[in-house]
Amino acid sequence: MTAQVIDGKAFAATMRGKIASHVARLKEVHHVTPGLAVILVGQDPASEVYVRNKNKSTVEVGMNSYEHKLPADTSEADLYALIDQLNADPAVHGILCQFPVPDHLSERDIVARIDPAKDVDGLHVLNAGLLASGQRAMVSCTPLGCLMLLRDQLGNLSGKNAVVIGRSNLVGKPVAQLLLRDSCTVTIAHSRTANIEEVVRGADIVVAAVGRAEMVKGDWIKKGAVVIDVGINRIPAPERGEGKTRLVGDVDYASAAEVAGAITPVPGGVGPMTIACLLANTVTACCRANGFPEPEGLTA
Amino acid sequence: MTAQVIDGKAFAATMRGKIASHVARLKEVHHVTPGLAVILVGQDPASEVYVRNKNKSTVEVGMNSYEHKLPADTSEADLYALIDQLNADPAVHGILCQFPVPDHLSERDIVARIDPAKDVDGLHVLNAGLLASGQRAMVSCTPLGCLMLLRDQLGNLSGKNAVVIGRSNLVGKPVAQLLLRDSCTVTIAHSRTANIEEVVRGADIVVAAVGRAEMVKGDWIKKGAVVIDVGINRIPAPERGEGKTRLVGDVDYASAAEVAGAITPVPGGVGPMTIACLLANTVTACCRANGFPEPEGLTA
């Protein structure tokens, strides 16, 4: 048996199409254009690429993109003044600050400064609390992407045994909350878990978000399980030439694909979902801010 | 094998003793007396008993108790004015509003009005978020009580398989967060869980918080497991006379006690821990408000 490959890139493209239609409708019917503000402090080259991609994707679906590039030595006070201004700006429905930021700034304090209703990255403690108590939250993009792929693959998730490997605030814990909300039986496994292979072997759904290259082996996977691999790890690839590297997930793809019913590849699985979910969250935030109905299929 | 009975009443008494010492030290060294304000709206007889007990226990450990009894027709504006006043009062370190409240008031909005740092019931969404993201939170009293009993029984919980039955915001979900923080492998089971007996049979720790009388049977329990029964269900007890009732937990005590290593009875298990944890939270809130070190053994 060879697993179906879950094409995150294609799914994300379809999702961006839905978002574009929704944005067009918001403009036509309500004369409102969702707007996403992205703050970049400093000139980290990787961050500049991410911000450029976010901007490009935002504009492509018909939304407004507001880029704010600040020098690396921007003071906390100046950064907060900008955030306060964006919080108050009715044309801005989503705000994110690209991380990492220079050392003199605190990521936690920056997130806390953003209006939770505009926190499209879903990082604010209040959003964690809303998610944890089953209320309407802004949900982090990667966890939301995992949920979307699973719903698309399985339909109703109720009663499925789900094992989430990893307990980070960014992925593992919110994914667990989302799967619990969809009525999975959820187990959270991590570095202290005894007999982790056995725990994973009981799962209909495996979400690996632990950050260890190819840790989850094929013989940990129950036949027919759906495997979502959130890991992105760069490892040496001498077969491609001296000094070359390649990206792998937290799952040993080759052996897992022999057993799983469906599996996300790395790259091309969960990764492309992240920006699509960021755009979805911006549309959601815009609808909530204006009292419009929640956009269907774009939220948890 | 017959299980050790976990005497929550005795444990809570010991804890109240520790709290009293801590309060005495706060008074002597810092000239600060922790204060707990309890608001009761209306004359629900059960609520009046609870409030009286909380007041009595607060005073017994040397803390200040502030009771605010409001008529049943108190307006939202008047209630919020009182909460705002208590939020601003430096002599008040903990605030709780006894639920249920009359229908014209919203429990969720009342909780949201309380300063999260004084929310000794641990019900505020921000506290749920802090707990979910592993930060310093005020933790609900019943989940905290479960954690204290488990730590006392088992010492280090790291790597234990814990199954929490029930996914309520009040108990199931926060207990799962606390056990995850203590590095258990945590499974959350609930009404949609398939083969729940088998899931529970894998657990070193079982926390039952589902609200169904004697649902968890002895043959669901792994030999030697520690069983914490949060349920309090009143069932008919014709053997005690016509119309008589008795309290039972979510666990079928007689059969479970044959297999478990240790088990909480109902009543006398988790129940008595709740007020003790409320007092503990008030001391914790007082220490945090004043920048004193966290009281040892009284917090998560």
List B residues 179-218 in contact with A (Cβ-Cβ < 8 A).
Answer: 180, 183, 185-190, 192-194, 199
Provide the ipTM: 0.95
Read off the pLDDT of residues A186-213 as tens digits, 9 standing for 90 and up.
999 999 999 999 999 999 999 999 999 9
Say how far apart CA A201 and CA A222 lie, in whole Å.
5
Give the whole-number percent of chain A exceeding pLDDT 90.
99
- For helices B45-60 and B271-290, what crossing angle results, to 10°? 60
Chain A (155-174) residues lying within 8 Å, Cβ to Cβ, of chain B: 158-159, 161, 167, 169, 173
| Options A121, A182, A229, A252, the catalytic residue | A121
- What is the edge-to-edge ordering of all strands in the sheet holding A35-41? A64-70, A35-41, A94-97
Domain B141-272: state its class: alpha beta
Give residue B99's pLDDT: 96
Checking if the pLDDT of A1 tops 70, the result is no
Asked if the C-beta of B124 comes within 8 angstroms of chain A's C-beta atoms, the answer is yes
Q: Cα angle vertex B297, ends B294, B299, to 5°? A: 60
Mean pLDDT of chain A: 97
Average pLDDT on B98-102 reads 97
Who contacts B229 (Cβ-Cβ below 8 Å, separation ≥6)?
B208, B216, B249, B250, B251, B253, B263, B264, B265, B266, B269, B270
Q: What is the CATH number of domain B30-130?
A: 3.40.50.10860
CB spacing of B128 vs A128 below 8 angstroms: yes
Helix B125-132 to helix B172-181 angle (10° resolution) is: 30
Looking at residue B1, what is its pLDDT? 59
Nearest-CA residue of chain A relative to B128?
Answer: A129
Nearest C-alpha in A relative to B176: A188
The answer to whether residue B40 scores a pLDDT higher than 90 is: yes
CA atoms within 13 A on the CB side of B54: 32
Number of H helices and E strands in chain B, helices first, is 10, 11
CA distances (Å), origin A138, targets A278, A284, A286, A288, B28:
10, 8, 12, 11, 46
Q: Which regions of chain B carry the CATH code 3.40.50.10860?
A: 30-130
pLDDT in tens, A126-179: 999 999 999 999 999 999 999 999 999 999 999 999 999 999 999 999 999 999
pTM: 0.96
Q: Which residues on chain A are in Cβ contact (under 8 Å) with B107?
A: none
Q: How many CB atoms lie within 10 A of CB A87?
A: 17
